[in-house]
Chain A
Amino acid sequence: MSRTFTRRVSRGRSPLLPAVTALLLASVATAASALSADEIIERMEANQTHSTARIEGRMVIRDRFGDRTSTYIAYSQGAERFLVEFTSRHEEGQRVLRRGDSLYLYYPDARETIRIQGSALRDSLLGSDVSYEDMTGGRGLADDYDFELVGEESVDDRRAYEVRLTARTTDVAYALQTYWIDAEDFVLRRSEQYARSGRLLKTTEVLETMQVGDYRFPSRIRVTDETRRSAGTEMIIEAAEVDIDLPDGVFSLEELTW
């Protein structure tokens, strides 16, 4: 999956599933006009926070050697509680828990619970381009970027705001990003990530969306690393439930290590 997607989407406070998902669970927003760039980003990030959710998804990485698929089930409650369990054969039982500022990683074979702190938050998840911090949120885009509304464009025949994000710090993956955010539902439709030199590094495209209750969100995203010969990574939501009852014990070390 793409660091692109990640750093950009997940650096948003929404979590989990990264890219995948969360990003995407956006509540239907009323169309607005004369919004500032800050307000557009704020509404996009607000759309990614929901009361509770359960998502089943998969991540498919394609290169010249074939596909690599990882599947997972993710639970979330608001913006503070997340639990991801990987269900694919090679990662089965690995889980990540975020509860407030505490992030824990569980390796079932080692029976080891590691509290992720400091720079380890930037470690890659399952060798992907997604970091733990990216996946589980914790930082808003406003923490690292200044926003500028460039204008409006049509993306897949939908009106979208074009917002430029310029990093205020060097401690981020991308010095410059461009977001195209749907002007009606405030869902990210496309994005590009650039190096400080201006070189295009990655692009993210929303290929499909899904409607669940009052929510519409991207259900299939493709991230392409523009620096390599790659078919990219797809993040697919297989099933999603929102606003469901989740026992509080789901977001605990006991559940993490079960």
Chain B
Amino acid sequence: MVTRTVQRTLILAIGMTLSLALHSGAQTRVQTDVESLVTLRWTGDELALTGFSRATADFRSPQHPMVQGRLQLRLTVLDVAGTAFALPEVPRAYVRFRFPVTEDYLFRVTAGRDRLSWGVGSLFNAGDLLFGADGRDEADFTRPSDVRDETAWLTAAYFPIGALGYLEAVGLPPLPPVAGLLPPGTPGDSPDAAVPAVSESRAGVRLHVATGPLSVEPAYLYDGRNDTHRLALSLGSAAMGADIYASGSLDIPTGTDAVPGLQELLRERSRVSAGVFTSRAVGHDRTLNARLEALVRPGGAWEAIGEPTAHYGLLLHPEIVYIPGRTFTIVSRAIVSPIDGSAEITGGATWNIYQGFTALAFGVVQIGDDDSVYGWDRDGSVAILAGFRYEF
């Protein structure tokens, strides 16, 4: 049964979509993405079958050299034990414009909900001060690339520096909860929820420069949520036919608490990510891509402590993607916690049968003990997912 809140959100989403479609100009570009999947999951006690559908409508403004607008609406519907749950989202909603300072120089501003990719890394990226170094919670391993797709409400200004460099400043305000748009019981659904203070804003800047084969990106962010200065440095280059990259970040608390010494800061509040990526031709028309990333948290545990929620000092992310033809892709990805000897392995394939239409099937299995980060015989330790995706 669909709850009243869900009905409300459905009506809202559909109404917005129809309204936009009806009132949009002839050149507004609309793209729709419908995904329908079935998941068979081991809950720890039994096998559970879950239906899952997700529809995304993407509205882009007509092409203009100085102004852009985009609205992306997404509705996810889950069917669990005969009960439907719906989650509306607005992953992207922004305006972007260029402002000419002189005839030869301009800067641009993005305001709204969007994604910014700071640092470098696929799953682990210590240089990502906006969305975090560890992308495990948000990662979608069924995507052929870009396993992370977090977005946030922000205002960003982009200042070009020469042709291949730029300075980007960003501010992320703490937004009040949107009461009534979330499923009952979701934090923030209460109309009485406290409005966050302006002091909980985040603001920062990054500089991106390329020197020869080396890309360098220092970044800074003030995080008002915990009164912390955050610094990061990301480097990218190539060696021995492979792309290599690394990022490091450090959090420096302020406020009334005494600032720890440098050694303690490095030990307790730093993180480093590093990766190597290589792509090899197999025969004349097949490709094998391989990636290995590591996330090092010096302040994490370096011995197995028997806690499934433990924050260990080292995590690994190997990935192999084999492309035997133009339309077929075989993907194998894993997250490995070597300190407690556990891992989650995802493997599957996608087949782009027609343009925009893709069939996909993936399996997930966790390996490890009951007290490991990943382990057998727990909810989600084994899952099979299959379905179709169509973009039109």
Asked if A and B are interacting partners, one says yes
Q: Report the separation of the CA atoms of residues A68 and B29 in the bound assembly, to the nearest whole angstrom.
A: 19
The minimal Cβ–Cβ distance linking B30 to chain A, given in whole angstroms, is 10
Q: Does B241 contact A (CB under 8 A)?
A: yes
Given A128-B326, A253-B160, are A119 and B242 neighbors across the interface (CB < 8 Å)?
yes
The minimal Cβ–Cβ distance linking A223 to chain B, given in whole angstroms, is 12
Contact of A61 with B326 in the complex, beta carbons under 8 Å: yes
Q: Which residues of A contact B285 (CB under 8 A)?
A: 3, 129, 201, 225, 227
Contact with B along A115-142 (1 / 0, CB 8 A): 1111110111001110000000000000
**Total contacts A to B, CB within 8 angstroms?**
123
Q: Does A180 contact B (CB under 8 A)?
A: no
Q: Report the separation of the CA atoms of residues A213 and B108 in the bound assembly, to the nearest whole angstrom.
A: 37
Q: Does A92 contact B (CB under 8 A)?
A: yes
Interface of B is mostly: strand
Q: Which residues of A contact B31 (CB under 8 A)?
A: 89, 92
Contact of B115 with A90 in the complex, beta carbons under 8 Å: no
Contact of A90 with B355 in the complex, beta carbons under 8 Å: yes
Given A118-B243, A252-B160, are A123 and B279 neighbors across the interface (CB < 8 Å)?
yes
Given A115-B236, A118-B238, A120-B243, are A99 and B163 neighbors across the interface (CB < 8 Å)?
yes
Contact of B115 with A109 in the complex, beta carbons under 8 Å: yes
Q: Which residues of B contact A202 (CB under 8 A)?
A: 284
Q: Which residues of A contact B240 (CB under 8 A)?
A: 118
Contact of A173 with B164 in the complex, beta carbons under 8 Å: no
Q: Does A245 contact B (CB under 8 A)?
A: no
Q: Does A214 contact B (CB under 8 A)?
A: no
Q: Report the separation of the CA atoms of residues A92 and B164 in the bound assembly, to the nearest whole angstrom.
A: 22
Given A120-B277, A124-B287, are A102 and B114 neighbors across the interface (CB < 8 Å)?
no
Within 8 A of B (CB), among A56-86: 61, 63, 65-69
> Can you list 23 A-B pairs, Cβ within 8 angstroms, ordered by A?
A61-B326, A65-B353, A66-B355, A67-B355, A68-B355, A69-B355, A99-B163, A107-B145, A112-B146, A115-B215, A117-B236, A118-B238, A118-B241, A119-B280, A123-B279, A123-B289, A127-B352, A129-B326, A252-B160, A253-B160, A253-B163, A254-B158, A257-B158
Q: Does B165 contact A (CB under 8 A)?
A: yes
Partner of B356, one of A90, A92, A99, A110: A90
The minimal Cβ–Cβ distance linking B247 to chain A, given in whole angstroms, is 14
Within 8 A of A (CB), among B198-249: 208, 210, 213, 215, 236-243
The minimal Cβ–Cβ distance linking B354 to chain A, given in whole angstroms, is 5
**Most A C-beta atoms less than 10 A away, residue of B31, B60, B243, B352:** B243
A residues near B (Cβ < 8 Å) are 3, 7, 61, 63, 65-69, 89-90, 92, 99, 102, 104, 107, 109-113, 115-120, 122-124, 127-129, 173-174, 193, 195, 201-202, 225, 227, 248-249, 251-254, 257-258
Q: Which 5 A-B pairs have the closest CB atoms?
A: A118-B238, A117-B238, A112-B117, A68-B355, A252-B163
Contact of B355 with A122 in the complex, beta carbons under 8 Å: no
Q: Report the separation of the CA atoms of residues A117 and B114 in the bound assembly, to the nearest whole angstrom.
A: 27
